[in-house]
Amino acid sequence: MALSETSLIERYFRSGGAQRPDVALGIGDDAAILSPPAGSDLIATTDTLVAGVHFLSGAPPAAIGHRALAVNLSDLAAMGARPAWALLALTLPEAREAWLAEFAAGLGALAREHRVALVGGDTTRGPLCVTVQLLGFAPPGRALRRGGARAGDVLFVSGSPGDAAAGLALEQQRLTVPAAARDYLRERFLLPSPRVALGERLRDYASACIDVSDGLLGDAGKLAQASAVAVEICFEELPISEELEAALGDEGARQLALSGGDDYELCFAVAPARVPELLAQLPPERWGYTRIGALLPGSGARVVRGGTVMEFSHSGYQHFS
């Protein structure tokens, strides 16, 4: 295949990520040879981004490279795993060197930030599509899951959900916001920061964890369902960034925090007895997370406001007119 010409791969991907001693053989052979730490569980994930579906076709190539790895890092963060090795399957309509250089730079910078080595991949011709597979480690039996929460556990979320959805609306010109908020919201969409360090630390505290990629309410509902409990989120407790509030007002911002996607934050449950130590060891103002609700007996996901349950129509809330 013309596009998998060794020179292109050499130039753009060979030294893009971190260098790690546990990579016995990286890019260049038919497969990589990797040496996982003895006794660790290997945690594996993959995510595909299709042009026009998961990113806008005209998106900056560096942002596409960043996102392709970030969505996978976020999955490993939700498992409490430490990321180590990535593989990249790249389908490109043509080999445009400027595009490849920027894409590789975006992916490489985030990989180095998290000490991830790019150990292999595949390059083919076709409609633009990017798949990253990410491998990482957790101590045996200690990886976090969606399904460990119990009724009575406290629910937390990291970051300020809703920002990325507003950033996407800005990119699509469905929203206009004050200039001061614009760059922040755009960046929250274009360059998500997966909560890898927080995820790893949460292994010691969380009973269940999920990453918020499809909207906080829906994803908290998935955690609750996997744990066979109900989840209740308190509308007034949702953490809203100044910028989102400036863009949408308090009401709109809270609605978007519940339903907007692409946050790549962590939503996690902690048994009440463990909460004091969590707050002491991982100060919320430093680690950037907020208590937003609780897990309860029963099933389903609901939002409580001023003591009463809010109604949501299935057609969804109209954020941008």
Q: Where along the sequence are the contacts to ligand ADP (CB under 6 A)? A: 4, 9, 13, 27-30, 88, 90, 118, 120-123
Sheet holding 117-125, edge to edge: 41-50, 129-138, 82-92, 117-125
Choosing among Mg ion, ligand ADP, none, which partner's interface includes residue 213 (Cβ < 5 to 8 Å by kind)? none
Nearest distance, CB of residue 4 and ligand ADP, angstroms? 4
By C-beta, is 71 or 88 nearer to Mg ion? 88
By C-beta, is 118 or 144 nearer to ligand ADP? 118
Nearest distance, CB of residue 135 and Mg ion, angstroms? 18
Choosing among ligand ADP, Mg ion, none, which partner's interface includes residue 121 (Cβ < 5 to 8 Å by kind)? ligand ADP
Q: Is 24 helix (H, G, I), strand (E, B) or coil?
A: strand
By C-beta, is 122 or 245 nearer to ligand ADP? 122
Q: List, in sequence order, every residue forming a beta bridge with 125; answer none if it has no partner.
A: 92
Residue 135 vs residues 38, 44, 71: alpha-carbon distances, Å:
15, 5, 13
With b meaning 16 or more CB within 10 Å and e meaning fewer, what string describes 231-244?
A: bbbbbeebbbbebb
Nearest distance, CB of residue 12 and ligand ADP, angstroms? 8
Beta strands in the chain (DSSP E): 23-25, 33-34, 41-50, 82-92, 117-125, 129-138, 154-158, 206-212, 230-234, 265-270, 289-296, 301-305, 308-309
Site for Mg ion in 75-134 (CB under 5 A): 122
Nearest distance, CB of residue 91 and ligand ADP, angstroms? 9
Would you give the DSSP letter of residue 235? G
Nearest distance, CB of residue 88 and ligand ADP, angstroms? 4
Nearest distance, CB of residue 7 and Mg ion, angstroms? 15
238 and 254 Cβ atoms separated by less than 8 Å: yes
By C-beta, is 2 or 273 nearer to ligand ADP? 2
Choosing among Mg ion, ligand ADP, none, which partner's interface includes residue 300 (Cβ < 5 to 8 Å by kind)? none
How many other C-beta atoms lie within 10 A of the C-beta of residue 320? 14
Q: List, in sequence order, every residue forming a beta bridge with 118; answer none if it has no partner.
A: 86
Query: If you search the block for the tokens 């970030």, which residue do you land on?
Result: 70
By C-beta, is 95 or 151 nearer to Mg ion? 95
By C-beta, is 120 or 260 nearer to ligand ADP? 120
Please give the residue ranges that form the binding site for Mg ion (CB under 5 A).
Answer: 122
